Amino acid sequence: MSDTYLVAVDGSEGSLRAVEFATERALASKAKLLLAYVIEWSPYSFHTPDELAERHKRREEEISRAQSKVLDPLVAAARDKGCDVEVFVRHGHPSQTLVELADANKATQMFIGRKGDSRIATLLFGSVAGALVQTSPVPVTVVP
Amino acid sequence: MIRFFATALAFLLVSATAQAAGIDETINTATAPIAELVGKIVFFKIPLFGAQLPLVVLWLVVGAVFFTFYMRFINIRGFRHAIHLVRGDYANPNDAGEVSHFQALATAVSGTVGIGNIGGVAVAVTVGGPGATFWLIVAGFLGMSTKFVECTLGVKYRNENPDGSVSGGPMYYMRKGFADRGMEGFGKFVGTFYAIGIFLGALGIGNMFQSNQAYVQLNHVAGGGLDGLGWLVGLIMAAVVFSVIIGGIKSIARVTEKIVPFMAVFYCVFALIVIFMNGSAIPQAVANIFSGALTGEGVAGGALGALIIGFQRAVFSNEAGIGSASIAHSAVRTNEPVTEGLVSLLEPFIDTIVICTITALVIGTAAVADPNFAGDARGIAMTSAAFEKEISWFPIPLAIAGVLFAFSTMISWSYYGLKGWTYMFGESNGGQTLYKLIFCAFVALGCVVQLGPILDISDAFVFLICVPNILGLYFLAPVVKAELESYLARIESGEIKKYKQA
């Protein structure tokens, strides 16, 4: 059985490096590459009725933006190199959703870029990479 | 931006002149006879064993009782499942990012939890005695079934606009539902009638009443320091509402929507503290509620009088039968309309059975009931006094809570009214902006004018739309029942599974 690598993508510099790094590994070990874009979203947030009515429209927009702006170029680049790529765009809690995707798709490794936030920033806003390292069922490579 | 200031300025001028010209009295004298007439028709009372029973209240109660039996006590048997739905146990992860059941419920609850929960209950207890509380709870319990039916239908018959947004609510289910039964003309008529009613209601109890009560409470805390400054308070509130619904400054709304649930919890916690501080009075207060419910001692019309007042206040507070919540709930994208109905039945529970009962107990244990507080406008002052007896600084956070409750209710109702408006005039942007401007103007007016007759008209219309709404619910109840049975059967057979393992 061949390996499956899941890469967390958010369009940031770090995530681009992670994709690049994972692509090389995937090519070397003939692994399948999964690119996952998680849009942060909580089902327990509060909204006005107006926002509720427009939610579906917004969701579609968010997904298509992630797809066209971030994922499409990455996929094209990886495919050019001869990689087998699949993409996912999901709403949810970032690290939790990544773990769920890894489980559901039987990923054998995960790759994530880091932002290199200061300690204060991490303390305030948390770090997806940090949370992923703590909760992932498979080995995680954090790409600097 | 220029347009923003121009409109705001125009607004300022209009309100200021209105103030100067004593528009207050002009409006009152002009509308009083109309209000009286409409009120007489809508709240037509039949004398019954010495009590006065408004027909429309009877209509609502009979409906609620019917739906409770017809759906075989869905308010009890659906309760646990409703909580599972809100927790997200049945949410498909692939649908993440759509409106969740929790969000729809939270939004609808912030629309209904309002001044009525604080002030309205005080009025009920003053006029109907402690026994009114008992009937308030019973009405809340029965109202859960009505809410279930109307919210299920709201989702089932909503309109999906070409741009992907949704419009739903009683006007849509009445039009489509009646058309399905070959009564297209009638459906169109009641749909439009409902749209007009919800529009007028949105300007009255969903708007002027709220801003007025917020002003009264602020003035109460300021010790009368805001006397005659109603126009200023009104303008400030109108400006904030303006920035949210027209300016698109969603963050303000989002902040309120976030604060309101905490406020509700905060209110309940402090209410419980006050109740326990008055601990020795609890048994007596509870006993009064039960004995009052059955004997109606000291209440005009006895036990029946207490019942009528309790029911009337419950409807006011949880809006079951009015159909407004159905508009908010119809935004949820689900393959199973029944799930939305089940979630919505928690609303009367939270709003009436929990929050209103707590308020009633605060008033009951503090023993501040005083006929001088009669009248809606004084209701909130009475609740405030009950708190003040134990916690002297409490009127201040209560005033803040009152203003926030009023604000979130206004935002919710601005949307309900808008849906009535777009149902009548189409979804064009210009028309929507015009509606929103009218809405803001009424926020300011609410603090300036004496509410009496205008409120009566709005009140009457909100109750008037219950008539076609419940009629529609009777006609469409078999549809809901079939959906419910099929849904429950699929839960039973395991076809619909939990995604999350609890």
Q: What is the pLDDT along chain A (144 residues), one digit of tens a residue?
A: 578 999 999 888 888 899 999 999 999 988 999 999 999 888 887 787 878 888 888 898 999 999 999 999 999 988 898 888 999 999 998 889 999 999 989 999 999 988 776 777 666 666 788 888 888 899 999 988
CB burial readout B153-191, b (16+ within 10 A) else e: bbbbbbbeeeeebbbbbbbbbbbbbbbeeeeeebbeebb
User: Using the beta-carbon criterion (under 8 Å), do B415 and A51 form an inter-chain contact?
Assistant: no
pLDDT for position B191:
92
**Pairwise CB contact (< 8 Å): B98 & A56:** yes
C-alpha A135 chain-centroid distance: 15
Contact A57 B163 (CB under 8 A): yes
**What is the per-residue pLDDT for B85?**
92
Q: What is the pLDDT at residue B139?
A: 92
Q: What confidence score (pLDDT) does residue B420 get?
A: 92
Look at residue B449 in the predicted model and tell me its pLDDT. Answer: 72
CB contact under 8 A, A92 and B97: yes
B57: in domain: yes
Instruction: State which residue of chain A sits closest to B95, comparing Cα positions.
Output: A91
Q: Which of B90, B99, B172, B254 to substitute to test the interface with A, most A CBs within 10 Å? A: B99
Q: Provide the angle, in degrees to the nearest 10, between the axes of the packed helices B23-42 and B452-464.
A: 30
Nearest to A53 among B106, B258, B331 (CB): B331
Q: Using the beta-carbon criterion (under 8 Å), do A45 and B103 form an inter-chain contact?
A: yes
- Name the residue facing A43 among B91, B163, B245 (closest C-beta): B91
* Per-residue confidence in pLDDT tens, chain B, 502 aa: 445 555 555 555 555 545 544 555 666 676 677 777 777 777 777 776 666 778 888 888 899 999 999 999 999 999 999 999 998 888 888 888 888 898 888 888 888 887 778 877 887 888 788 888 899 999 999 999 999 999 999 999 998 888 777 888 999 999 999 998 888 889 999 999 999 989 988 888 888 888 888 888 788 788 777 777 778 888 999 998 888 888 766 666 677 667 777 788 888 898 898 888 888 888 888 888 888 888 876 676 677 888 888 888 888 788 888 898 899 888 887 888 999 999 999 999 998 999 888 988 888 888 665 544 444 446 677 788 888 888 888 888 888 888 888 888 888 889 999 999 999 998 888 889 999 999 999 898 888 776 666 667 777 777 888 888 999 999 999 999 999 999 999 988 888 888 765 4
Residue B291 is assigned to a structural domain of this protein: yes
**Are B450 and B19 a contacting pair, CB within 8 Å?**
no
pLDDT of residue B249: 67
Domain-embedded: residue B498:
no
Most A-contacting residue of B89, B92, B100 (CB-CB within 10 A), to test interface: B100
CB B123 within 8 A of CB B374: yes
Which residues 93-152 of B have a C-beta within 8 angstroms of A?
Answer: 93, 96-100, 102-104, 106-107, 110-111
- Best probe of the B interface among A38, A39, A46, A67, by most B CBs < 10 A, is A46
Chain B residues within 8 A of A100 when measuring between CB atoms: 93
Chain-chain contact of B107 with A47 (C-beta, under 8 angstroms): yes
Residue in A closest to B100 by C-alpha: A43
Q: What is the pLDDT of residue B22?
A: 59
Query: To the nearest whole angstrom, how far is the Cα of B338 from the nearest Cα of chain A?
Result: 18
Domains and CATH numbers, chain A: 4-143 (3.40.50.620)
Task: ipTM value, please give it.
Answer: 0.84
Q: Is residue B499 part of a domain?
A: no
pLDDT at residue B12 in the model:
57
Alpha helices, DSSP H, located in B222-356:
230-245, 250-277, 282-295, 302-318, 324-329, 337-344, 346-348
Please report how many Cα atoms fall inside a 13 Å half-sphere around the Cα of residue A11, on the Cβ side: 12
- Vertex A42: Cα angle to B429 and B403 (nearest 5): 60
In this complex, is the C-beta atom of B258 within 8 Å of any C-beta atom belonging to chain A?
yes
Which value, in Å, is the radius of gyration of the alpha carbons in chain B? 22
Q: State both tokens at B326.
A: 């159905």
- CATH number of the domain encompassing residue B314: 1.20.1740.10
Q: How far apart are CA A2 and CA A23, in angstroms?
A: 15
Q: Cα distance from A48 to chain B (closest Cα, Å)?
A: 6
The CA-based angle B491-B344-A62, given to 5 degrees, is 85
Structure tokens at B1: 């931006």
In a domain, B344, yes or no: yes
How much is the pLDDT for B477? Answer: 94
Domain count of the fold of chain B: 1
Interchain pair B93, A62: CB under 8 A: no
Domain containing B480 equals: 10-493
| Of the candidates A88, A102, A91, A101, the residue with the CA atom closest to the CA atom of residue A40 | A91
Is B253's CB within 8 Å of A48's CB?
A: yes
